[in-house]
Amino acid sequence: METQLPDDFRCPISLEIMSDPVILPSGHTFDRVSIQRWLDSGHRTCPITKLPLPEHPCLIPNHALRSLISNYTLVSPSKLQPCPQPQILISSLSSQSSHVGTKLNSLTHLVRLTKHDSGFRRKLTELGAAPGVLKCVGSDDPSLQEKALSLLLNLSLDDDNKVGLVAEGAINRVIKVLRFGSPDCRAIAATIITSLAVVEVNKATIGAYPDAIQALVWLLISGKGREKKEAATALYAICSFADNRRRAIDCEAVPILISLLDSGLERAIEVLGLLVKCKEGREEMMKVNGCVKVLVSVLRNGSSRGVQYGLFTLNCLCTCCERLCFEAINEGVVEICMGLMEEENEKIRRYTSSLVQTLRENHAFG
């Protein structure tokens, strides 16, 4: 199908057909997932024009282009290939008489059809697909559960679906997978939390669910590489809501995140950069032996985004504790800051200047 679609339907970054096109302040359109990944990497320029962007660029949904892509794919010749009607596929997911093989086949069809087609994703939710999909998410069969989670993730990509999926009970199902699913299923489940949390109201709803944040923190402890990274990403997504920061702190996330950061999981510094904004988070970080050393290591070796969060976190801690200022000095933070003052990234320079000022105000150095 993709080879028959106009090139304007492709994201300039991924070169794939856009499923959720959004407009940057520069006026250019990108797929949301691709441009968000670009921004999360610390870039603040338009990938096409290279012109500077605001610190927090607004991503405006390009409804006209999304509708055009959806309508175009509906009449694409490849769509004329024989395929069961969506209602039949959905019915098989909820039917008690359907065998596992039948459900797996239906899910495979639906995952393929929803991967790049936002119009079809909306159609499925309008047809009432969520209960059947969630029932399969709760299956004891790992293959069926994983395929159902992939479909749930696809459905969650559309902002119009996110609140409805939460209302249908998606969070309870996903939390159980975080606890008891296979490694691949747990990673997808954490990604679904991240996707659903894009809508602001869902952040509060997810955090209020018993064991939601605890399950993510548990995955940080027990999961492997991909699971840990997705769990940290999900925590970052929901902890932009202030009440969830305290919940994460109560679940003892701080020492776990610092340990993971020390082990090389840089995503952990982003979460710590949110938790440090509240008093309880700062207090917990001050209790962790070696916290300052780990943060200074991020300043020395981290990515641009990691350095930004490391500077912000360390500055917040040093502002509240003179002892930590001297610890930072002893770890060589002044020399590092002198180098960072020459960075092209304006945010890094600004955060570096703030940290140096904090150290001076605390008489840590002249």
Give the 3-state secondary structure percentages of the chain, helix then strand then coil, rounded to 5: 70, 5, 30
Sequential DSSP letters for 95-115: -TT--HHHHHHHHHHHHHHHS
Average pLDDT rounded to a whole number, residues 322-336: 94
For the stretch 338-346, contacts whose Cβ atoms lie closer than 8 Å and that sit 24 or more positions apart, written own/partner, are: 340/299, 340/307, 340/311, 345/42, 345/44, 345/304, 345/308, 346/44
Sequence-distant (≥ 6) Cβ neighbours of residue 112 within 8 angstroms: none
Q: Is 340 helix (H, G, I), strand (E, B) or coil?
A: helix
pLDDT band at 366; cut points 50, 70, 90: low
Q: Token pair for residue 277?
A: 């904004």
CB 64 within 8 A of CB 22: no
Residue 41 lies in a domain: yes
Per residue in 123-171, pLDDT (tens digit) is: 899 899 999 999 999 999 999 999 999 999 999 998 889 999 999 999 9
Q: Token pair for residue 300?
A: 């020395």
pLDDT at 4 over 60: no
Using CA atoms, how far residue 279 sits from 242, 246, 294, 318, in Å, is: 11, 9, 20, 13
Which among 17, 32, 1, 13 is positioned nearest to 116, based on CA atoms? 17
Residue 73 lies in a domain: no
- Enumerate the β-bridge partners of residue 29: 23
Residue 146 lies in a domain: no
Q: Which of the residue ranges 35-49, 212-226, 336-350 would you say has the lowest mean pLDDT?
A: 35-49
Per residue in 276-313, pLDDT (tens digit) is: 999 999 999 999 999 999 999 999 999 999 999 999 99
Tokens 């999926």 identify what position? 165
pLDDT for the residue numbered 178: 96
pLDDT for the residue numbered 251: 96
% of the chain with per-residue pLDDT over 70: 94
Higher pLDDT among residues 283 and 83, named by residue = 283
Average pLDDT rounded to a whole number, residues 228-252: 96
pLDDT for the residue numbered 140: 93
pLDDT for the residue numbered 81: 46
Domain count, the chain: 1
pLDDT band at 261; cut points 50, 70, 90: very high
pLDDT for the residue numbered 9: 84
Distance (Å, whole) CA 329 – CA 310? 15
pLDDT for the residue numbered 148: 97
Average pLDDT rounded to a whole number, residues 200-223: 95
Per residue in 84-132, pLDDT (tens digit) is: 688 889 999 988 888 999 999 999 999 988 888 888 888 899 899 999 9
Position 260, amino acid: L
Q: pTM for the full model?
A: 0.76
Residue 57 lies in a domain: yes
Average pLDDT rounded to a whole number, residues 38-63: 87
Which among 303, 298, 297, 312 is positioned nearest to 343, based on CA atoms? 303
Average pLDDT rounded to a whole number, residues 176-180: 95
pLDDT band at 77; cut points 50, 70, 90: very low
pLDDT for the residue numbered 98: 86
Residue 284 lies in a domain: no
pLDDT at 54 over 50: yes
Residue 224 lies in a domain: no
Q: Token pair for residue 111?
A: 């995952």
% of the chain with per-residue pLDDT over 90: 67
pLDDT band at 364; cut points 50, 70, 90: low
Pairing type for strands 21-23 and 60-61 reads antiparallel
What integer best gives the mean pLDDT of the chain? 90
pLDDT at 82 over 70: no
Sequential DSSP letters for 260-271: HHHTT-THHHHH
CATH number, domain containing residue 40: 3.30.40.10
Cα torsion angle, 263, 265, 268, 269, sign:
positive
Residue 29 lies in a domain: yes
10 Å CB burial of residue 140 (0-12, 13-18, 19+) is exposed
pLDDT band at 73; cut points 50, 70, 90: low
Cα torsion angle, 149, 252, 200, 282, sign:
negative
Average pLDDT rounded to a whole number, residues 195-216: 94
Determine the angle formed by the axes of helices 242-250 and 253-262, rounding to 10 degrees: 80
Residue 250 lies in a domain: no
Q: Which domain holds residue 21?
A: 7-61
10 Å CB burial of residue 262 (0-12, 13-18, 19+) is middle
CB 266 within 8 A of CB 306: yes
Using CA atoms, how far residue 183 sits from 62, 235, 238, in Å, is: 35, 18, 22
CB 258 within 8 A of CB 288: yes
pLDDT for the residue numbered 272: 98
Distance (Å, whole) CA 347 – CA 315? 14
Higher pLDDT among residues 63 and 264, named by residue = 264
